[in-house]
Each structure stands twice: as C-alpha cells, then as structure tokens.
Amino acid sequence: MLDDLDLSRIIGEMSDAVLYGYQPCEIMWGRSVRSWAVTDIVGKPPEWFQFDTDNCLRFRARDAGVEGELLSPSKFVVPAQDASYDNPYGFPDLSMCFWPVAFKKGGMKFWLRFAEKFGSPWVIGKHPHVCIMHQGRK
C-alpha cells in the first residue's frame, strides 16, 4: 500500500507544519481490488482552512460564510507542532523569526534615511593635540 506513495514528497509537505504551526493534508482515496486505499496525500495551503470552536477543520469557501465548510475527518490529516486544545493552529517556528527580521529591516531603513538626511554616517573622534605629541615621542 505504501509502495505506490511518494513518501519523500509527502513527508516534505507535512514537515511544513514545523514552520507554519500546522499543515492540512488532503488524503486521496482510491478503490483497490478488495477495498478502499490511500492513493496520495497532498499538502494544501494553511490559509485555506480554519478551526471551529470544537477544533474541527473547516474549509474557507467563498460561499460557506464565516464558519466555513465542515470537512470529513477521513479526508484530511493535520500535522501540527505543539498544538493544544486552546490553540489547534500550533506554534510555528517562523513566528520566532518575525520580530528580529522586522527590527533589522526597520533599523536598516532608519539608518539609510538618517545617512541620507544628515550626510556621511562616519564617526569622527576628536582628541587634544597633546596626546599625539606624547605618542610620537614614545
């Protein structure tokens, strides 16, 4: 059953849950000789989905309203990182990167605007002439 699946692609798509907190994956079912079997598992964009108050996965369809369309539990699997009942979306690792990147970008923008407005951003140090003469004799 697993021989026909591209497991490296499936595991790669499911590992996006580490970065984004959760990764909805659609299970494609197909009819085999005697029973139903999984033919493929495809990762879908997380922004297409939401959780309701009962932590059930819902599809954000345009015609489904604010609640979204309820999905069958046998049709989707949702790997999540550090998910809880209070937070079914999980804890994304990329959330720890947001503020450092935002401050770095904002700091660079401030520095460039400061340099453009006030001229060269070089630091000029001034010291008394006496110090140079004493250093020169030594």
% of the chain residues with pLDDT over 90: 31
Summarize pLDDT for 91-131 with one digit per residue, the tens.
999 889 888 999 999 998 998 888 888 776 566 777 777 65
Number of domains in the chain: 2
Contact 79, 23 (CB under 8 A): yes
In a domain, 89, yes or no: no
Per-residue tokens: 45:
């964009």
pLDDT, position 113: 87
67 and 12 within one domain: yes
User: Closest Cα partner for 76 from 31, 29, 125?
Assistant: 29
In a domain, 117, yes or no: yes
In a domain, 128, yes or no: yes
| 133 has pLDDT over 70 | no
Q: How confident is the model at residue 41 (pLDDT cuts 50, 70, 90)?
A: very high
| 2 has pLDDT over 80 | no
123 and 67 within one domain: no
In a domain, 33, yes or no: yes
73 and 12 within one domain: yes
In a domain, 85, yes or no: no
128 and 101 within one domain: yes
Range of 60's domain? 2-77
Summarize pLDDT for 26-35 with one digit per residue, the tens.
999 998 888 8
pTM over cut 0.75: no
Q: Is 116 helix (H, G, I), strand (E, B) or coil?
A: helix
CA-based angle 84:88:92, to the nearest 5?
95
56 and 23 within one domain: yes
Q: How far apart are the first and last CA of the chain?
A: 84
73 and 8 within one domain: yes
Summarize pLDDT for 51-92 with one digit per residue, the tens.
998 989 999 988 878 888 888 888 999 999 998 989 899 999
Task: Give backbone dihedrals phi and psi of 69, rounded to 5 degrees, phi first.
Answer: -95, 125
59 and 22 within one domain: yes
